[in-house]
Structure 1
Amino acid sequence: MTFDDLDDDLRLAFAEYERALMANDVPALDAAFADGPRTLRGDSSDVLVGHDAIAAFRAGRGGAPARTLLQVHTRSLGPDARVIVAQTRRADGMCGIQTQVWERSGGRWAITVAHVSAAPTPVATPTSPDDPIWRVAPGPEPLARGGDGPLTNPRVAVKDLFAVAGQAIGAGNPVWLSEAPIESRHAAAVEALLAAGADVTGIAHTDELAFSLSGSNAHYGDTPNPVAPQCLSGGSSSGPAAAVAAGLADIGLGTDTAGSIRVPASYCGLYGLRTTHGVIDRTGLVGLAPSFDSVGLLTRDAGLLARAGAALLPPQSVEPITRVVVAAELVELLDPAARESFRAAVQALTLCGAASGTVLPPPVPGALTYPDSGGLDAVFTAFRTVQTAQAWDTHGELLTAHPDALSPEIAARFHAGRDIDSATRQSAQRLLDAMRAELLRSLPPGTVLALPSTSSAAPRRDTDPALLESVRQKTLRLTCLASLAGLPALSIPAVRADTRPIGLCLVAAPGQDHSLLAFASAQTDPL
């Protein structure tokens, strides 16, 4: 995947245009448009012909609304002509498309044709009260009310793996729930959000024992996807994701072992943060595979995600993101129909700071180094070996005591872990340790790896099981890298496949959670 059709001079010219537009720098905007009578600028109501007419319109407009870049597409029209189509989002929720033809004359790029349009952001489909989002539904009063703090009472949907005082943990399984005690204390992560001022509004469903990425639970049903109603919501933090996407909660508190925050964030068009492994206290949490389990958050906007992250995360040094790396072999796992959208989203990410004058260098194409000749497939196999073995260590007692407690699909995953011998497990762990070292070397502070959060948009609920398993396997190859290395990973809703969202995932060095959150807040929220 290359990014060289936006050469350095044009990249700087486009960035200067964005800066001038947000600053209402009329002389700079006039200079960005080609002089002469044939320059065009159109919108939904009129076409202005000639540089003088465009300049007069701009002088009387009083500035353009604040907005952020979501995608930047480029096409060559010849050696000295390019078309740039940029998708934007304004602070008032309007989405825009900006199409420009840039031509180079005398060594200088200028706009010769421009068209802008805007439309409201699509609204999520309301959910039915009967939809299986909640295991403990919201009532007139919160399940737990927050104190005075910086979060100012956002509603939190808690994944049914965390202890909430006065409630039992259900873990997505009726047998587990029937034997679970009533909790006397909140989980540490729940307590931290309450202390920051958030309210726990309800306990949301999880996939069975968190060992799935689909958002489908054999005991409770398919959690709805409010932004793609005929599609899966993604798991295992399916309930919190659906609650947030539907506007029934503001923050989803979940977990991510092999992608269980990033996948539902991708499918439901949310921001989702998997935190650095071990930085957030997991007391009061039902885990799956302790070496990989991490606490995570889901929100509809980057600003709230950063504030919620500040409530949970310990203090960390914040390193400015200055380099975005893209590995071609990871992008190839993405549905071909979405690869151009991914490319445009990464391009936009490096240009989003144009309004403040902090444009990043172009994305850097690269390739990961694997410590085994089997490449990514061998690393993924090692990850699944260790994960399933740890999952059996964690929950094997339940399956032994209640052989029919789990659905056949989930039970088979646990039994695969039961049958792994110690030599195989140790060999797999050595490969994971070597891969972690390679990832740490390639991700110094200030560098992020950009990759698709999932291999496709949310599959339809009626997708053929064999095809669904293929999608799952490709997605796990993308998500396992951050998990096996304990790295923070942030999913941003920036990629599209037809009308459905796909996340753009940024993976950073351990302990750079705040750096990712600061970058997302600055780059993806409207000014």
Structure 2
Amino acid sequence: MNNDAVFCAQGPKELLPTGLGTLTGLNFVFKDLFDVQGYVTGAGNPQWLKTHDKAQKTSPLIEQLLNQGAECIGRVQTDELAYSLNGQNIHYGTPVNPKAPDCIPGGSSSGSAVTVAKGDADFAIGTDTGGSVRVPASYCGIFGLRPTLGKISLDAAFELSKSFDTAGLFARRLPILKRVYQAITSENANTSASKVGILSVFCSKQHLQRLNRFSLSAQEHGIDVTMVDDTSLTEWMPKLSELFRTIQGYEIIAQHDAWLSQHLDSLDPAIAERVEWARTITPQQYEASQTKQAVFRDQFIQLLQSAGGIVVLPTTPAGPPKLITPPAELAVYRSELMGMTAIAGLAGCPQLHIPMLNFGLGPCGISLLGVPGSELNLINTALTLVGDGEGL
């Protein structure tokens, strides 16, 4: 494995625990978007690294993990400015996907997912704006949690899009992910779902095999599985990717336009093209999209509540694309992918990816998506199905 494609040379190489707690004995890595005092956060781009100063404070999230006894074994790579879902970085290389070496690892939290999937770290922290935890978790065959918007602190971290940015977690086994989540949030609810809804919009032949496997396992464990009347979601689906991208793109320019104007040529051409498109979004389009988002969020949360609070859906359209997939094909696939990942982002909901083992599509799986604040309900429900195993 190209170590530069996974670990960041600027460090830190190690951060020792600052206390004893529920995470004593575990180690972790963190995505190159979180600040550590005395080090420069690189955001996956060498020019960003050169043009920014050392951080003046450490991310409260990293401090929490160290205080709870975890040891940090390094900072890991991200797609440039976290503005991609592929896991490819033209400057540092593409981390090798341990579960599918001829496929992309997924991004933008590529280094986080690969390090955990390879077994080099017990858990990892990443960020998820448009799928950057859920997608690499799916492609690398591990568990990944995107929490409710605002649940975990993003203070002293790189901002991509304030409406959607979340800190997220990776682990090979769900009990470890639960320990980490509880160490961060101090939550201890033991509830789990007695029923789960399936969204009919995803019941195409492409996804049916995964949903059937989930349904059989759920029923074997005493969980009722019902079809959800998702007519309203079906009407929204063709619009979600563009709606999400419009809000995200406008906020990226609002936050970073000065730097991007000077250093656009340092970016991967595909990412630079997205930046140029984002510059065309007007304030009126942004405000109109925010209004539509509020309507979607209300309707979707009502749908979740009618389903008992949790629905199941495919995390990604299929397994990971091959490394040799042409960029134009990846761009088309990205639009389909973001139509799926945008749901949780636009609604501000938590989503937990559950890997499926020995699956013909390569690494992939399904997700449990719940009402805001239901992270432990999602985790406990998944634990009912997989226990200490590595997937379903």
Task: Determine the C-alpha separation between the residues in 2 that align with 1:192 and 1:519.
Answer: 26
The equivalent position to 1:392 in structure 2, one of 246, 250, 253, is 253
Q: Say which SS state the counterpart of residue 471 (structure 1) adopts.
A: helix
Matched, 1:135 2:15: no
Match of 2:336, as an amino acid? K
Match of 1:188 in 2: 60
Cα displacement string for residues 285-344 of structure 1 (whole angstroms, at most 9, x for unaligned residues): 102100100010000000000000011225375543122111122343xx82x5313321
- Counterpart residue identity of residue 373, structure 2: G
Q: Give the conservation status (yes or no) of the 8 Å contact 1:494–1:503.
A: yes
Whether the aligned pair in 2 keeps the contact of 1:318 and 1:512 (CA below 8 Å) is no
Q: State the distance in 1 between where 2:218 and 2:22 align.
A: 28
Cα distance in 1 for partners of 2:388, 2:72 equals 28
Q: 2:215 aligns with which of 321, 346, 369?
A: 346
Shift of the alpha carbon at 1:165?
A: 2.8
1:251 is matched with 123
SS in 2 for 1:364: strand
Query: Does structure 2 retain, via aligned residues, the 8 Å contact 1:210–1:236?
Result: yes
SS in structure 1 opposite 2:164? coil
What letter matches 2:212 in structure 1? R
Deviation at 1:456, TM superposition (A): 1.0
Question: Does the C-alpha gap of structure 1 residues 515 and 190 become closer, same or farther in structure 2, counting only changes over 3 Å?
Answer: same
Distance 1:408 1:138, change over 3 A: closer
How far apart, in 2, do the equivalents of 1:137 and 1:446 lie? Answer: 47
Q: Which residue identity does 1:436 align to in structure 2?
A: R
| Deviation of 1:421 (Å) | 1.2
Which secondary structure does the structure 2 equivalent of 1:292 belong to?
A: coil
Alignment of 1:316-327 (within 5 A): 319-327=191-199
SS at match of 1:156: strand
The one of 191, 198, 223 equivalent to 1:360 is 223
- In 2, the alpha carbon distance for the partners of 1:234 and 1:519 equals 26
Aligned positions of 1:76-475 closer than 5 A: 128-130=1-3, 132-136=5-9, 142-315=14-187, 319-332=191-204, 336=206, 339-351=208-220, 353=221, 359-361=222-224, 363-370=225-232, 375-444=236-305, 446-475=308-337
Secondary structure at 1:370's aligned position in 2?
helix
Give the residue type in structure 2 aligned to 1:482. Answer: A
Distance 1:426 1:235, change over 3 A: same
> Which secondary structure does the structure 2 equivalent of 1:443 belong to?
helix
TM-fit CA distance, 1:195:
1.3
Which is further off, 501-510 or 142-151? 142-151
Give the corresponding residue for 2:351. Answer: 489
Structure 2: how far apart are the matches of 1:162 and 1:172? 12
1:506 lines up with 2:368 in the alignment: yes
Q: Which runs of 5+ in 2 are unaligned?
A: none
Distance in 2, matches of 1:393 and 1:134, equals 30
Q: Give the equivalent residue in structure 1 for 2:378.
A: 516
* Alpha-carbon distance, 1:146 to partner: 4.2
* Offset at residue 464 of structure 1 (A): 2.6
Aligned partners of 2:67 and 2:8: how far apart in 1? 24
Q: Distance in 1 between matches of 2:166 and 2:355?
A: 21
TM-score by length of 1: 0.70
The letter of the residue matching 2:187 is: P
Aligned partners of 1:396, 1:381: CA distance in 2, in Å? Answer: 21
Offset at residue 398 of structure 1 (A):
1.1
CA contact (8 A) 2:19 2:68 kept: yes
Question: 5+ residue gaps in structure 1?
Answer: 1-127, 354-358
Q: Which amino acid aligns with 2:213?
A: A
Contact 1:322 1:447 in 2 (8 A): no
Alignment map for 1:35-46 (pairs within 5 Å) = none
The alpha carbon displacement at 1:463 in A equals 1.3
Cα distance, 1:479 vs structure 2: 0.6
Larger radius of gyration: 1
* 8 Å Cα contact 1:320/1:446 also seen in 2: no
Normalized per residue, which structure has more helix?
Answer: 2
Q: In the alignment, residue 369 of structure 2 is paired with which amino acid? A: V
What per-residue deviation string (whole Å, max 9, x for no partner) do you get for residues 87-108 of structure 1?
xxxxxxxxxxxxxxxxxxxxxx
Distance 1:311 1:216, change over 3 A: same
2:189 and 2:210 map into 1 onto residues whose CA distance is 32
Structure richer in strand, relative to its length: 1
Q: Secondary structure at the match of 1:273?
A: strand
Q: What is the aligned length?
A: 388
Per the normalisation by structure 2, the TM-score is: 0.93
Q: CA deviation at 1:138?
A: 8.3
- The structure showing larger relative contact order (alpha-carbon pairs under 8 Å, at least 6 residues apart) is 2
Shift of 1:166: 3.0
Letter aligned with residue 183 of structure 2 = A
- Matched to 1:312, the amino acid is I
